[in-house]
Each structure stands twice: as structure tokens, then as C-alpha cells.
Amino acid sequence: MTAHHMPDELTAGSLSRRDVLRASGGVFGLSGGGTSAGPAISFRPDCPDATTRPAMRDCEDATTAGCADEHPRTKELRDEATRALERDFSTVGALLEDGFVPYFDLLTDGDSGGWSHWLNPRYIGDESILDAGRPAAIMVDNKWWRPLGVMFVATRDGEQLDDPPSVYGGADEDADARCSPWHHHVGLPGRYAWWKYQQVWGDGAETGLRLPCRTPCMMHVWTLPNPNGVYAHGPPPQGSRGGPPAEPAGFETSATPGEDELGVDVLAEELLNSTVAERSRRRDS
């Protein structure tokens, strides 16, 4: 992953093309040094679980003990997500048109293969949580330009929830029968990515100039076969992502899905346009 220095100042009201390129290029600026200013990344005594390497933890009261791919609610939620992806979010162009933006992991590869999270600030900022028709995020395969599933983020009206709802089974029910597969990221890359998202597309007020101790609680619902289950943290293996033919781009580009990796060089202009449009919408609202 390419490292960059963070801009001296980056807010929703002062974005340049260079800023958008930087913000879309992955987790960057972690090395410090130079004179560029950014979030305080030193260890904080109030963040005992924070790590420098990627790491996640189960959210409080989370459990996968009762989660089963064959459970009626799991099937229902996965079917809802599948219909939403097929109907409204089948291409990258459709994601861009609806206001989704890459969650700064666009260039990651690693053992699981290239894939990216795309977050929608409108859906993160509304009242919905487990609404597959308004997913907080969609996971996309960077080779086939294909959605792999949805991700829910435990926020209401943009505010982080400490007690996200169970998929099924109430808080008073036996933990072995409850499915609440929420996790949050406590590693430096994930915390930094959420901070950067807030600075560029959120209001930035929640995070300020210090990295949060953790991200909000999140949970995946994979719509393509995943050997680790519908709610697995990791993506389906590359061989389970549908293969050729690739999905159409859905927007004007010289890149060819299936041949060209979905990356910043492909998306720079579209991301700039979508960011400017979002800023205009906020001014008018």
C-alpha cells in the first residue's frame, strides 16, 4: 500500500482534487514525520484496546453463537441484500450515482484479494440500521467490479450506537440463541480510515483532530458464497466472486472491468464530482 503524507488541513469545505486523490488512496500518512499535520496517533490511556496493526474486537454484547446461514432471518436479510444489490447497486456507476464513496481501503489487496468498502454518508446519517435497501456500505470486488455484499454500521442520525440491535434474539434471550455479529476496528489503519472518512465526507465533529479509540460497530452480510458464513469478517475467496464476465462500469471510463483493477486512477474524476455535488447539496439543505 502506498503511503502518503496527510494534508495540512482537510475539511469538507476545502477539498481540492489532490485532497480527493489522497483521501481515496487507502490508509495513508501513518508514518508521521515531515511537517504535515494530522490526527494525534499517539497511544491514549483511554484507548487500552488500540493497536498499531489492523485489529478488530467484538462489540459489547455481540455474539455469533446463534448465527446460522440457514436461519430464516439470515436468509431473509441475505435475500433483501441480494435484491437491493441487483436492483439498485449492481454497478460501480450506480454506487457513485447514489452517493457511495470508497472507505479508503480501495487499494488494499493482501491474501483476500482486492476488494473495497464503499460507504454512503446519507445512509450512515439516517435512522436506519439493518435496512438492506439503504445499506451503510457495500463491499465491491476490485477485479470484477461486482458487489459482494452489504455492511451495516451502527449509527443513528450519524451518531455512534453502543448497543446495536441483534439480527435475531433479544438481549434477554439465551446468548446461544442470539445472533449479534457486530465488530469494531481498534487497529490504527481502521481507526485512521474512519477518522479520514469523517473529515472528508462526514462533519468531522465526532472525531476532531484525534483518532477515535475505535470505529462504530459494523457487520457484514455477504450475498456471494462465503465458506466462513454470511456474517464473516473476511470476504468470499476470489474463486467465489462470480468470475467473468465482469460487471459493466456504469459510468464513463476508459478502464475495462475485468481487465483493469478498480482503483483511484479510474475513479479520481468521478470522486471529485461526487464530493463537489455533496458539498453543494449540504449548502442548499
Q: Kindly state the helix (H) or strand (E) to which residue 139 belongs, with its residue range.
A: strand 137-141
Rounded CA-CA distance 32/144 in Å is 35
Q: Evaluate whether 156 touches 131 at the Cβ level (below 8 Å).
A: no
- Distance separating alpha carbons of residues 21 and 19, to the nearest angstrom: 5
Edge-to-edge strands, sheet with 56-58: 56-58, 183-185, 218-222, 146-153, 137-141, 115-119, 101-102
* Structure confidence by residue, pLDDT tens digits, 157-212: 888 898 999 999 877 777 788 999 999 999 888 888 888 888 877 755 455 677 88
Q: Do 137 and 153 contact (CB within 8 A), yes or no?
A: yes
Strand partners of residue 116: 140
pLDDT mean over 72-97: 97
Q: What is the pLDDT of residue 10?
A: 28
Q: Is 38 exposed, middle or buried (0-12, 13-18, 19+ CB in 10 A)?
A: buried
Q: Cβ of 259: how many Cβ atoms within 10 Å?
A: 9
Nearest to 148 by CA among 157, 158, 156, 138: 138
pTM of the model: 0.80
pLDDT digits 0-9 by tens, 13-69: 333 334 434 443 433 322 222 233 455 555 567 888 888 888 889 999 999 999 999
Cell numbers at 276, concatenated: 463537489
Question: Which DSSP category does 37 fall into?
Answer: -
Residue 248 has pLDDT above 60, yes or no: yes
- Pairing type for strands 56-58 and 218-222 reads unpaired
216-235 pLDDT per residue, tens: 999 999 999 999 999 999 89
**Cell output for 84:** 437491493
Give the start-to-end residue ranges of the domains of the chain.
Answer: 17-284
Strand, helix or coil at 248? coil
